[in-house]
Amino acid sequence: VVLVVDFGAQYAQLIARRVREARVYSEIVPSTMPVAEMLAKNPKAIILSGGPSSVYAEGAPRLDRALFEAGVPVFGMCYGFQLMAQTLGGTVDDNGAREYGRTPLHVSKVGSTLFEGTPAEQSVWMSHGDACSAAPEGFTVTASTDVVPVAAFENDEKKLYGVQYHPEVLHSTHGQQILEHFLYRGAGIEPNWTTHNVVEEQIALIREQVGTKRAICGLSGGVDSAVAAALVQKAIGSQLTCVYVDHGLMRKGETEQVEKDFVAATGVQLKVVDAQERFLTALAGVSDPETKRKIIGREFIRVFEQAQLEILQEDGPEVAFLVQGTLYPDVVESGGGTGTANIKSHHNVGGLPDDIEFELVEPLRKLFKDEVRMVGQELGLPEEIVQRQPFPGPGLGIRIVGEVTKDRLDLLREADAIAREELTAAGLDREIWQCPVVLLADVRSVGVQGDGRTYGPPIVLRPVSSEDAMTADWTRMPYDVLAKISTRITNEVPDVNRVVLDVTSKPPGTIEWE
Ligand code: XMP
């Protein structure tokens, strides 16, 4: 394992991903972890991330010098670089030598371990206040900028390396190459970590954890739960039962995708609960978005728990495990605990007996989203499941502005299916993060269709580009694709005489309309 020591801000996750892209397994540890504990993990190398502090700030994170004396190769980036310089006796000044953003880097030692084979002039991403003016003894300065004399250094004998900039961001043009040079040349690591190994390793771990007992897993139709279920199925076969609640708010073909394609690809034992009537009844007369969301969430849990209860009552070994598709970013963001969580499935409704506790099986908790997709591919899941765009849990229920009825759902399902079909045909699925299709059910506008006047609700297209859904921009997609979608929806979906495009970024708008 390569440890990425997290000095705060958002850098560590990105570095850990880049290391894995170099096919080397990495894990993130907090900078407060004692060095002895880090070394006990037998790391093949350690990377010190950037962070928001100044090494001079009071309470700024520090590092025990022992880390540099353990014989483990270390690569410091930005704050990690300055900390390394300061700890080992170099000079870091708080002299106003700031640099932010794209910066030209002058490589003075092109044949060095890190810079071998990269150009003497390259563009790097800087973000720092303090600057290193003298490298520690035994180090060779390998690069500078117009502002800082020491922008990179290395001590090949001790296997210690550092750069002032952020090689992990794409704006640093040779960043990935430099990181790989550290891993392969500096630390002598073989790049052999693949999702294939992950699958093999997880299957063994799941078998060991579950033994002869049974497990259950809720399927949402999303990527994470599907991949987690497929992995567990591969490990324990018929000891796993999946539950899928069809609330009638799914898009066209989605339930069939789970029922047929997913089962065909995995052979999983699936319990489908048809709860459409129940959800429609509960949603009748409700237009307020938050109320809709609460009703859908509540009904979902009730139905799901009822299904669990039925499985618990079936003959067979004890049902002791609940499979969840938790991902690595969730784990890191919630403090990165390593123990096995024990949850009690009590949502104070529905009513599982009080004494039932599930132990969690979370086979994806060390993986990033793109790696989960690769695992899904490795497991032979259909492309339509593995490459799915995000879709909200409350489904089409929050894409009908106004009351949710069966007719409106059917209408929206048709319009959505057309939009998805055309976006796929135009090859836009990867470029577009997601494209909600929204029915403004209570708005009507006048149209002329065939020989007559019509009066019907508009459909909104909301294509957005995003990296994490926290912020988004509307996708400037080709007019001819928009035209095709518009023509088809107004021709093929009864009542709809108008299609409009949402051209709002997030913020101020959210991605969904409700
Ligand atoms: P907003 O509308 O808040 O959406 O900009 C951000 C992202 O979250 C998705 N979303 C949900 N996902 N349950 C989910 O699993 C929900 O209740 C939910 N609401 C919004 C949305 O599709 C977008 O990707």
Q: Where are the beta strands (DSSP E) in 26-185?
A: 26-30, 45-48, 74-77, 91-93, 99-107, 121-128, 131-134, 140-144, 152-155, 160-163
> Which residues make Cβ contacts (< 8 Å) with residue 262, sequence separation at least 6?
219, 226, 230, 268, 270, 381, 382, 385
Strand partners, 244: 219, 272
Q: Does the annotation flag 350 for ligand binding?
A: no
2-186: what fold?
Rossmann fold (3.40.50)
Closest residue by Cα to atom 20, ligand 1, is 392
Atom 10 in ligand 1: which residue has the minimum CA distance? 392
Q: Would you say the CATH fold of 195-386 matches that of 2-186?
A: yes
Do residues 471 and 462 make contact, with C-beta atoms less than 8 angstroms apart? no
Predicted pLDDT at 111: 86
For domain 405-501, give the fold: GMP Synthetase; Chain A, domain 3 (3.30.300)
Is residue 166 flagged as an active site residue? yes
CA-nearest residue for atom 9, ligand 1, is: 392
Tokens of 192: 């052999």
- Using the atom order of ligand 1, give the atom closest to the CA of residue 513: 2
Q: Ligand 1 mean position to 479 CA, how many Å?
A: 26
List, in sequence order, every residue forming a beta bridge with 241; answer none if it has no partner: 216, 269
Integer Cα distance of 164 and 132 in angstroms:
8
Set 168, 371, 414, 422: catalytic member = 168
CA distance between the termini of the chain: 43
How far is it, in rounded angstroms, from Cα 24 to Cα 392? Answer: 33
Q: Phi and psi (nearest 5°) for 22?
A: -85, 10
- Tell me if residue 346 is catalytic: no
Q: What is the CA angle 483-458-421, rounded to 5? A: 45
CA of 220 to the centre of ligand 1 (A): 14
Q: Is 223 annotated as a binding residue?
A: yes
Measured by CA distance, the residue closest to atom 16 of ligand 1 is 392
Q: What is the pLDDT of residue 330?
A: 82
pLDDT computed for residue 498 by the predictor: 98
Question: What local confidence, expressed as pLDDT, does residue 456 receive?
Answer: 96
* Atom number in ligand 1 closest to CA 391: 22
Instruction: For a ligand 1 pocket test, name from 512, 513, 514 the mutation site with the most ligand atoms within 8 angstroms of its C-beta.
Output: 512
Task: Give every CB contact of residue 330 below 8 A, 6+ residues apart in sequence.
Answer: 365
Residue with tokens 């078998």: 207
The pair of structure tokens assigned to 464 is 């957005």
**3-class DSSP state for residue 448?**
strand
* Distance between CA atoms of residues 167 and 123, nearest Å: 10
Domain 195-386 adopts which CATH fold? Rossmann fold (3.40.50)
- Cis peptide bond upstream of 507, omega within 30: yes
**Which residue's alpha carbon is nearest to atom 11 within ligand 1?**
392
Active-site residue, selected from the candidate residues 27, 78, 247, 299: 78
Of ligand 1's listed atoms, the one at least distance from the Cα of 509 is 5
Which residues form the pocket of ligand 1, taking CB atoms under 6 Å from any ligand atom? 390, 392-394, 434, 469, 506, 510-512
- 299 Cβ contact list (under 8 Å, min separation 6): 247, 275, 278, 279, 282
Nearest CA to ligand 1 atom 14: 392
Rounded to the nearest whole angstrom, what is the distance from the C-alpha of residue 510 to the centroid of ligand 1? Answer: 9
- Contact by Cβ (8 Å): 206, 361: yes
Task: Report the DSSP pairing between strands 319-323 and 357-361.
Answer: parallel
Catalytic-labelled residue, pool 166, 174, 181, 247 = 166
274 annotated ligand binder: no
Q: DSSP H helical segments within 55-108, as ranges?
A: 79-87
For tokens 């048809």, the residue is 274
Compute the residue count for the chain.
514
Q: Which atom of ligand 1 is nearest to the CA of 512?
A: 2
The dihedral built from the CA positions of residue 500, 506, 511 and 514, taken in this order, carries a sign that is negative
SS3 48: strand
Parallel, antiparallel or unpaired: strands 437-440 and 459-461? antiparallel
Domain ranges for the chain, please list them: 2-186, 195-386, 405-501
Q: What are the pLDDT tens digits along the chain (514 aa)?
A: 999 999 986 789 999 999 999 999 999 999 999 999 999 999 999 999 998 888 888 888 889 999 999 999 999 999 999 999 999 999 998 877 788 899 999 999 888 999 999 999 999 999 888 889 999 999 999 999 999 999 999 999 999 999 999 999 988 999 999 999 999 999 999 999 999 999 999 999 999 999 999 999 999 888 999 999 999 999 999 999 999 999 999 999 999 999 999 999 999 999 999 999 999 999 999 999 999 999 999 999 889 888 988 998 999 999 999 999 999 888 887 665 443 445 544 433 345 566 667 889 999 999 998 899 999 999 999 998 998 899 998 999 999 999 999 999 999 999 999 999 999 999 999 899 999 999 999 999 999 988 899 999 999 999 999 877 888 999 999 999 999 999 999 999 999 999 999 999 999 999 999 9
Q: For residues 206, 211, 217 and 221, what is the CA-based torsion angle, rounded to 10 degrees?
A: 40
220 is in an annotated binding site: yes
CA of 300 to the centre of ligand 1 (A): 17
Instruction: Measure 392 CA to ligand 1 centroid, in angstroms.
Output: 5
Q: How many CB atoms lie within 10 A of CB 155?
A: 20
- 3-class secondary-structure state, position 383: helix
Mutate to test the pocket of ligand 1, among 396, 511, 513 (most ligand atoms within 8 A of CB): 511
CA–centroid distance, 511 to ligand 1, in Å, is: 7
SS3 513: coil
Does 168 participate in catalysis according to the annotation?
yes
User: Which residues are CB-neighbours of 1 under 8 A, at least 6 positions away?
Assistant: 25, 26, 27, 41, 42, 43, 44
ipTM here: 0.98
Strand 152-155, strand 160-163: pairing: antiparallel
User: How far is ligand 1, taken at its centre, from the CA of residue 469, in Å?
Assistant: 8
